[in-house]
Chains A and B, each alone.
Chain A
């Protein structure tokens, strides 16, 4: 019988290191990828992942199961940390122009070209694309993470995709 995230969290808060390790291994990947896709920087992604779980250990972040899944809660902490980093460190954002991106594509560097295009989006659209299109998060969970109505998630997603299409010169 696999324990739920919440059961593991309760055990972890009781001092059970094995429960913490299981919870960490189950949830660190999405948190790390979210931070990486939002910043394009592996050092920041690593730092954010560590800080998210440190917040759980030190109990500075308190999870309420009535307000959503633990996965959404962790995304929410990661999002706040990422946005703070983006505000403080403007240089980590690599706003590539459309010509650069097309150049990448012609060199068959498709993946990195798409990554650069995503990173070039303003954060408010980027986080919707990262959560819903790259992390497969439901609109409902994304709304919890982004602290906005589902309709707003949809509109940001549409706008973000439209901007991406322009940058990638792909008709949608």
Chain B
């Protein structure tokens, strides 16, 4: 009987939901997230990042978000809608894991992912090694901003992977 069950499992293994389901879901997803309600998140994220850069040894706490940054706010660009090329065998960017910027964060419900540019020195703030002569180089990072407008986590992005 095990062989019969295995035959059925093997027979069904390639069966998947039709593509129309994915299209309907992606359409629903776009409707759900079409109008981001937190434009001020970008500013809050910049403040946290600026402090992350200039006070790398200090613990990242909630208080940081309300302190005026000691330097001009870094340019923050919201992640532009990306064309999805999921089947590409050649990745165009590599990301680190997410590093938490908050301790005892409340449960994550919703928020935004912001793509920002910042000095490589910020990577030291989360313990990543950076050569002294590259500290001022600009690097890309994604900041995860929660529903309350505070930056919760950051990951660094290498966008120069496998460029033809």
Contacts and interface: CB of A to CB of B under 8 A. Distances in A.
Interface string A32-47: 1100110000000110
Is chain B's binding surface mostly helix, strand, loop or mixed?
A: mixed
Interface string B99-113: 000000000111111
Interface stretch (B13-21, B42-50, B51-59): B13-21
B163 interface: no
Interface in A51-87: 53-54, 57-59
B17 A49 contact: yes
A170 B1 contact: yes
A98 to B, nearest CB: 14
Contacts of A134: 5, 8-9, 12
Interface in A1-28: 1, 7, 10-18, 20-22, 24-25, 28
A28 B9 CA distance: 16
A59 B109 contact: yes
Interface stretch (B30-38, B63-71, B131-139): B30-38
B5 A57 contact: no
A22 B33 CA distance: 17
B18 A20 contact: no
- B2, B33, B98 pick with most chain A CB within 10 angstroms: B33
Nearest to B144: A14
B110 A14 contact: yes
Contacts of B111: 13-15
Given A29-B16, A58-B32, A134-B12, A17 B108 contact: no
B72 to A, nearest CB: 26
A16 B36 CA distance: 12
Contact of B32 (A57, A136, A165): A57
Interface of B: 1-2, 4-5, 7-9, 11-13, 15-18, 21-22, 24-26, 28-30, 32-33, 36, 79, 81-82, 84, 86, 94-95, 98, 108-113, 144-145
12 contacts: A1-B95, A7-B98, A10-B144, A14-B111, A14-B145, A17-B29, A28-B22, A46-B17, A50-B25, A58-B32, A114-B7, A118-B5
